[in-house]
Structure 1
Amino acid sequence: MKTFSSSVERINQESATIHGQFGGQRKTSGYHRNPEWQVKVAEAERFMDEIRVGRRRHTDFAEAMSTSDFPKLFADSLDRQLYGAYMATVPTWMNYARAATVNDFREVKRFATSGVRGLLTKVGEGAPHERRAQTETEYKYSVDKYEAGFGLTWETMINDDLGAFFRMPQDLADSVRDSEEEFVTRLYCDTSGPHATNYTALKGNLLTGNPALTRDSLQAAITVLMKRKDERGNPIVVNGVRLVVGTGLSLVAQEIINTTEYRVVDPNGNVRIIKGNGVSANLGVDTNYWIDSVATTANANTSWWVFAAPNGVRPALEFGRLRGFEAPALYERIPDMRRMGGGDEGVSFETETAEKKVKHVYGGTFVDEKMSVASNGTGV
């Protein structure tokens, strides 16, 4: 078998000939006189007979048959798999923006009042008391409708042996989360970092010198928030603080928060070991992936924001959804094709496509500049 198997392998070569594989012997008469020739012929007869009766193993043919012999059968890979879609960003906006519900598409108004609260004044006998006037600040915005969808032809659905299109409705739902996060990001961030309209030195919410994010600068920002006062000088209570950064500062922010000990050297060279970082109390960190897309300059890697928790009297931001449509709504076109004799098909009669879409209605605005502090981190 070994002799004949090697001969079968050589036959597969284009240059091989049957005559050459059997020793190249020529007949000297009506019979082959060479013993080697006779052995090979007998072995070939036995091999073919065993094939006929089913006694040859499949492995005996492995050397003779390869994928190159079957260009059509192996044209497409038999080992295929579908990678899942990228994971949607984890929304962070609800940690520092207030969620609200609006009734319709008309402009909604929010009013902040002040002017009456304040310390009492001493009044002498028969003297008039202080008459205080209430002041109002107006904030307004409206919601808009946002949609996206897809259509699949009947042929595409038939060919979808990997189920690639079954997760597309989930992709639409993930698009809603991304859209909300991106929308809120644009309320406090622009191409250069902190939104140029909402963060200014005049409003007192842009840190002097735009310091980089460090423990000291973060502590200074938190101190600014904790010292906020209203128009009559009353302290504004801040119950919690959120630090918001892009991906470029995510590790830096986590290191600051997770530090459990730091050392301070005084002017005399004395070293003090302080337990705790001094800033982690009532402080949370949010990494907003959309900052990297909204801020298109290098400031995306250096900008950072601090927000008062939105559960206070006034939030820094408000994000509103339409009443009755607080959650995204998924739709599909009703199919209008049926087989003669019965049986619906989930596609359009005209184009033989199946269509689905998602609808979401939302809007928002920047509310109170006192409830946030920011820096572009450039040191300028």
Structure 2
Amino acid sequence: MTTLFSAAVERIDSNAASLRESFGGQRKVSSARPRRDPQWERALLEAEAFVQDIRYGRRPIDHFREAMSTSDFPLLFADSLDRQLYGAYEATVPTWQNYARAATVNDFREVKRFATSGVRGLLSKVGELAEHERRGMDETEYSYAVAKYEAGFALSWENMINDDLNAFMRLPQDLADSARDSEEEFVTRLFCGANGPLTSVYTGGNLLTAALDRDSLQSAITTLMKRTDDNGNPIVVKAVELVVGPGLALQAQEIIDTTEYRTVDPNGNVRIISGNGVAANLRISVNYWIPSVASSSNADTSWWLFANPNGPRPAMEFGRLRGFEAPALYEKIPDMRRIGGGEEPVSFDTEGAEKKIKHVYGGAFVDSRMSIASTGAGA
């Protein structure tokens, strides 16, 4: 009925029709000739009075507004006046520093790292006038090169003007978080593959299939601490890092937080063990990029142990370019100036503003003796 009412008001304002014609040709109701339907008569009288009041200004404007719904104004009510911008997702917390050694390289050429077996070993008893043992040593070479990684964005002048929610103000921070994520993902690929532990690194003695529990973790730590070098000398491991994906984060923390274990021997005697036996010098690192790199079901069951990377020889090394150790943010210099003075922060040709981030890094897996991994497939 809104359309009929609006059309009636227009005809009244233009004096194109009488009140009688405006309301469907019905005769005006009066007390002298009452109609049969009293309800219809009252409604018609109220409508006549309402229209007359509007025509001659006796009705306030807010009464007229109440007669119009939002559907009468599709343009005015097309956009919401209550708008809010949600915050960006929180970037992952980097963990690679806990199990990979950080290094600095001078340029983009391949860098080499050398490891030798040395001549360390037990002394041999030598008889009178007898020759002593003359030892040799083996050497191993590791190499990698850093590469440049970049990303950026461009905004039009119109976008910057329309940004009433400051949605684009956080984009530089997004680039900084991207550099942090890229480091973590790069190091993850040094030890993790599509099926969990990287097959080119974890083979034979440093690859397990045990599920993560207290017994398997204790056994793996013991194995790592019993490592020997090429000459059979023990490798001292004083601290161990347990690396898991988010699928094992709660289970790993539960093992560490447990304060008491109870075991029953074959005779039925209950033995209470205070502590968990594995928490000393052990820390948990939750790497959120493991499920992205490991595409199989092993992503939620695989786990890794790394010796402290600050020891004599790390399991992995991550290098950054000297002078560019931290990611660097750049912006394109604007080349437009308003006549009469005033710089415009956009390009003269496109009226766009551009920013980018640059980071230079690389790395390699160094010594497989300093790590043990498990696919967790033996659950």
Aligned-pair CA distance for 1:294: 0.5
Aligned to 1:206: 207
Alpha-carbon distance change, 39 to 26 in structure 1, aligned in 2, over 3 angstroms: closer
User: SS at the partner of 1:167?
Assistant: helix
Aligned-pair CA distance for 1:135: 2.6
- Are the counterparts in 2 of residues 27 and 33 from structure 1 also a CA contact under 8 Å? no
Rounded to whole Å, the distance in 2 between the matches of 1:261 and 1:292 is 32
Aligned to 1:167: 170
Aligned-pair CA distance for 1:121: 2.2
Aligned-pair CA distance for 1:143: 0.4
Rounded to whole Å, the distance in 1 between the matches of 2:28 and 2:193 is 94
- For these two proteins, the number of residue pairs brought into alignment is 361
Rounded to whole Å, the distance in 1 between the matches of 2:45 and 2:162 is 55
Question: What is the TM-score normalised by the length of structure 2?
Answer: 0.86
Aligned-pair CA distance for 1:335: 0.8
Aligned to 1:267: 266
Does 2:88 align with 1:85? yes
Alpha-carbon distance change, 21 to 131 in structure 1, aligned in 2, over 3 angstroms: same
| Bigger mean CA deviation after superposition, 342-351 or 211-220 | 342-351
Aligned-pair CA distance for 1:122: 2.3
Does 2:149 align with 1:146? yes
Rounded to whole Å, the distance in 1 between the matches of 2:347 and 2:282 is 54
User: SS at the partner of 1:122?
Assistant: coil
Alpha-carbon distance change, 111 to 39 in structure 1, aligned in 2, over 3 angstroms: closer
Question: What is the TM-score normalised by the length of structure 1?
Answer: 0.86
Rounded to whole Å, the distance in 1 between the matches of 2:47 and 2:89 is 64
Rounded to whole Å, the distance in 2 between the matches of 1:360 and 1:133 is 42
Rounded to whole Å, the distance in 2 between the matches of 1:193 and 1:104 is 32
Aligned-pair CA distance for 1:110: 1.1
Aligned letter for 1:364? G
User: SS at the partner of 1:165?
Assistant: helix
Does 2:224 align with 1:225? yes
Aligned letter for 1:372? S
Aligned-pair CA distance for 1:87: 1.0
Rounded to whole Å, the distance in 2 between the matches of 1:147 and 1:276 is 48
Aligned to 1:283: 282
Aligned to 1:329: 328
Rounded to whole Å, the distance in 2 between the matches of 1:268 and 1:311 is 46
CA deviations 1:190-238 (Å, max 9, x no partner) are: 101100000000xx2112xx11111111111101111011112211111
1:117 to 117, 120, 126: 120
Aligned-pair CA distance for 1:115: 2.8
Does 2:176 align with 1:177? no
User: SS at the partner of 1:355?
Assistant: strand
| Bigger mean CA deviation after superposition, 102-111 or 154-163 | 154-163
Aligned-pair CA distance for 1:161: 1.6
Aligned letter for 2:175? L
Rounded to whole Å, the distance in 2 between the matches of 1:145 and 1:342 is 39
- Are the counterparts in 2 of residues 184 and 364 from structure 1 also a CA contact under 8 Å? yes
Rounded to whole Å, the distance in 2 between the matches of 1:324 and 1:265 is 60
Aligned-pair CA distance for 1:66: 2.7
- Are the counterparts in 1 of residues 113 and 143 from structure 2 also a CA contact under 8 Å? yes
- Are the counterparts in 2 of residues 25 and 34 from structure 1 also a CA contact under 8 Å? no
5+ unaligned residues in a row in structure 1: which ranges?
1-10
| Bigger mean CA deviation after superposition, 43-52 or 312-321 | 43-52
Rounded to whole Å, the distance in 2 between the matches of 1:252 and 1:45 is 75
Q: Among the aligned pairs, what percent are the same residue?
A: 70
| Bigger mean CA deviation after superposition, 170-179 or 254-263 | 254-263
Rounded to whole Å, the distance in 1 between the matches of 2:243 and 2:28 is 94
